[in-house]
Amino acid sequence: MGFLDRAVKRAVGNAVGNAVGGAVQRAVAPKIEQGVQQAAQQILPQQQPVYAPAQPPVYAQQPVYAQQAQQATAALGGLFGGLNSMATQFAQNKKICPACGAMADGNVKFCPACGGAMPEQTLGQGAVCAACGKQNDIGTKFCADCGAKLPTAIAQEQAAQEKDAQALAQWDALLPQYPKWQFGGHSFHLEAEPAGDPPYIEFSVCGAGRAELEQYRQLLLQSGFRPAGEYPDPCQLFARVDGVVYHVDLEHAFEGDALELFFARREPRGGFDYVKPQPKPRPSGGLFDLLK
Ligand SMILES: [Zn+2]
Ligand SMILES: [Zn+2]
């Protein structure tokens, strides 16, 4: 049944998991698995030909097995095809916490798991088309009847834009504190990927080489950046500014055509102030000396 389990997980994940999170997926998966087990029971006992002693296998029944297997496979296909509507029905009156992904009933105002504010609409309401009124499957982005963007998709986009704007504002405040860029005459441009986790900012510097990179590394070191953490690396430099750890990746700077520097808000592995544990010195004198 291993392949069926994998197929179920994949199908459930594709249908509902990506769009509305693991909560619906976890709730719907057992029902699907139950259906799959039932369908599989129709196939599996039939797979072994019946051997009677001193007689050839009963090949005559093979067309029957093939037919049953075909029916069962078709049933499986229908099951997977119906996942979206099953998930929609199940989650009609449920809400998903945008902060932690927990699921709660439609009348709940604050997340029972993290205390955050729950969205106004249930998952079902979020999939009702504002233009034509059709109840679409949850997790879909556009109305199946008229193509209009659905309320949940609009709300998700707005939330993502707000999060981007917040992350960019933090970087704007921080960047003047970094050492000035001294790539004499070279142009550079700035790309922000605030949607990443954690958000990072990327500088592409056209025409700069390894000498400039080393020059910039020295500048960072002079400004208080340093290798840190469990595996200190001279190409991974960290600084703590107002309690937030910032990280500059110089190791993967030449992965594209241009020199690219990555700034991220990330603790080094093991933490900024990681201290390697030293083996305890054995006490000397007394019994220990006698045992040597
Ligand atoms: Zn929550
Ligand atoms: Zn519509």
What separation in Å is there between the alpha carbon of 143 and the centre of ligand 1? 28
pLDDT score, position 149? 95
At 139, which amino acid appears? G
Ligand index nearest the alpha carbon of residue 100: 1
Number of Cβ within 10 Å of residue 73's Cβ equals: 13
Q: How crowded is the C-beta side of 287, counted as CA atoms within 13 Å?
A: 1
Please give the helix or strand (H or E) that residue 25 lies within, else none. helix 22-43
292 three-class SS: coil
pLDDT at 133 exceeding the cut of 90: yes
How many whole angstroms from 106 Cα to the centroid of ligand 2? Answer: 23
Instruction: Tell me the CA–centroid distance for residue 128 and ligand 2, in Å.
Output: 8
Taking residue 102's Cβ as centre, other Cβ atoms within 10 Å add up to 18
pLDDT at residue 1 greater than cutoff 50: no
Q: Report the alpha-carbon distance of residue 89 to residue 70 in Å, rounded.
A: 28
Ligand nearest to the CA of 147: 2
What tens digit of pLDDT does each residue of 24-40 get?
667 767 776 776 677 66
pLDDT for position 158: 86
The ligand that comes nearest to the alpha carbon of residue 102 is: 1
Please give the distance, rounded to the nearest whole angstrom, from the Cα atom of residue 134 to the centre of ligand 2: 6
pLDDT of 48 strictly over 60:
no
Domain positions in the chain are: 99-164, 178-264
Is the CB of residue 105 less than 8 Å from the CB of residue 118?
no
Cα 100 to averaged position of ligand 1 atoms, centre (Å): 4
For residue 129, which ligand has an atom nearest its CA?
2
Instruction: Give the residue from 183, 173, 21 showing the smallest Cα distance to 104.
Output: 21
164-208 pLDDT per residue, tens: 677 667 666 665 555 555 444 454 555 666 566 656 666 666 666
